[in-house]
Chain A
Amino acid sequence: MTIRDVAERLKLSIAAAEDHLDADVTSGYASDLLSCVMAKAQKGTIWVTLQSHPNVVAVAVLLELAGVIITEGHHPDPATIEKANAEGIPILTTPHTTFTTVARLIELGVEGVDQE
């Protein structure tokens, strides 16, 4: 499943890197603590978080994540969007909570990083 499929099925808005939606989503992870993401997320993971500042992109680039979903209607800062566009990291937003978003991802068949 690609990031584009996830965006369509969960009706997410695309905030950045519209031209990088073909990446395969291989797993999912949710946390607002960056060090936990660093420890757990894998290459190809989709990361669900409330955080919206530019370091979210730095983490996603280092881990080669498939993309980031920012929940509860938080909008990424202009600096975040600029960085995400430059690095090709898709940022998707939703008015729903992290809990609901993760539940929908699981319905779609996305598995947690600890489900391997």
Chain B
Amino acid sequence: MKRSALEITKSQELIYELKIEQVMTKEVITVTSSTLMSELKETLRLNRISGAPVLRDEQLVGIISIEDLIKALEAGEINVTVGEKMTRDVETVFDDESVVQVVTKFAQHGFGRLPVVNREGKLVGIITQGDVVRGLLRQLEVEYHEEEIHRYRASHIFEDIESDQTGLLLRYKVRPKDFIRGGEASSKLKRALERLGAKPQIVRRAGIATYEAETNLIIHATDGGEIIAEIRPERIKVSAIDNGPGIQDVERAMRPGFSTAPDWIREMGFGAGMGLNNIEVCADDMNLESKTGSGTRLEMVFNLH
């Protein structure tokens, strides 16, 4: 029960996430308003389709379906033009709209297909209920596959290696006032965690927190410092360590908006006084120890399960 409820939510989410252009048929078979109904019959038969958009001078002017054709056949009007039998005032959807728009229109009007136009009004595709279903299945498959890869990697790194204590140590040096290279250590750590197969949400939180810690070393630490990431099967611990000058009042430093960064650094957008708060929000556990004159040690823990 629980599982199927989850999957329904997933496909509903996908309907919102997927764009029409991702699922529509791009090679549209079209007819013109001067095409004869007899020619239309052949076009539908040869391409095994049940309708087609009608163009005049490249502009979308209507839509014609197999039902229109059957009515024309019954009335013996096989030699009239499509222009006379088509539906004008065509409902269309935009290529950059969400698939949910199409699903709603299908349900409201009972349409089997809708022409897709771009924002300039040009016909760029056609979408049927079959396209929607196929698109959803394809996307579910892609996501399922990604999850399989993720599980495979995770099991290999964190579970298949046997030792009494498995761990990986990554060490990054951070130079003082080197704003040009700011963010390099955190980017490298983020990529390493991705490769190890950590979950995207954890990678993101660790990336943001490490960036803030790295920035603090660049701005404040007299001789720069070091970022050390210790990766274990159950958690990642990232430490940012420097040899001074140390934080005078740790409690005050933790207050949102409090910053000791000089003006020239603030002009670059640093020193908003939000760095430590961002770290606190992102990390599962945080510990900040500092002594003026001897240095600062910031530890951030991210649980992997």
Question: Chain A residues in contact with chain B, CB under 8 A?
Answer: 1, 5, 24, 32-36, 38-39, 43, 49, 51, 53-59, 61-63, 79
State how many angstroms separate the Cβ of B274 from the closest Cβ of chain A.
4
* Pairwise interchain contact B183-A33, C-beta atoms closer than 8 A: no
Indicate if B281 sits at the interface (CB-CB under 8 A): yes
Residue of chain A at shortest CB distance from B273: A35
- Does B229 lie at the interface of the complex (its beta carbon under 8 Å from any beta carbon of A)? no
Does B268 lie within 8 Å of A53, measured CB to CB?
A: yes
A52 vs chain B, min Cβ distance (A): 9
Contact status A34-B187, CB under 8 Å: no
Residues of B within 8 A of A63 (CB): 204, 207-208
Range, interface on chain B? 20 to 34
Is B179's beta carbon under 8 Å from chain A? yes
Which single member of A32, A51, A54, A59 contacts B211 (CB below 8 Å)? Answer: A59
Can you name the residue of chain A whose Cβ is closest to the Cβ of B179?
Answer: A55
CA distance A53 to B268 in the complex (A): 7
Please list the 3 inter-chain residue pairs (A to B) with the smallest Cβ-Cβ separation, ordered nearest first.
Answer: A58-B183, A35-B274, A33-B272
The answer to whether A61 and B187 touch across the interface, beta carbons within 8 angstroms, is yes
Query: Which residues of B lie under 8 Å from residue A51 when comparing CB positions?
Result: 268-269
| A38 contacts across to B, CB distance below 8 A | 208, 211-212, 274, 278
Give per-residue flags for B268-294: 1 if the beta carbon is below 8 A from chain A beta carbons, else 0: 111011110110010000000000000
CA distance A56 to B180 in the complex (A): 10
Q: Flag whether B184 is at the interface (Cβ < 8 A).
A: yes
Of B19, B180, B207, B273, which one neighbours A62 at CB under 8 angstroms?
A: B207
Question: Please, which residue of chain A has its CB at the minimum distance from the CB of B184?
Answer: A58
Q: Which of chain B's residues has its CB closest to A50's CB?
A: B269
Report 23 cross-chain contacts, Cβ distance below 8 Å, ordered by A residue: A34-B269, A35-B273, A35-B274, A36-B272, A36-B274, A39-B278, A49-B269, A51-B268, A51-B269, A53-B179, A54-B180, A55-B183, A55-B269, A55-B270, A58-B184, A58-B186, A58-B211, A59-B211, A61-B187, A62-B183, A62-B186, A62-B208, A79-B180
Question: Can you name 5 extra interface pairs (CB under 8 A) apart from A62-B207, A79-B180?
Answer: A33-B269, A34-B268, A39-B274, A39-B277, A57-B183
Known contacts A1-B96, A33-B274, A38-B208; is-contact A59 B183 (Cβ 8 Å): yes
Closest B residue by C-beta to A83: B180
Chain A proximity of B178: nearest CB distance (Å): 10
Known contacts A5-B96, A51-B268, A55-B268: does B212 contact A35 (CB below 8 Å)?
A: yes
Name which residue of chain B comes closest to A55, CB basis: B182
Enumerate chain A residues within 8 angstroms of B184, measured Cβ to Cβ.
Answer: 58
Expressed in whole angstroms, the Cα–Cα distance for A38 and B182 within the complex equals 14
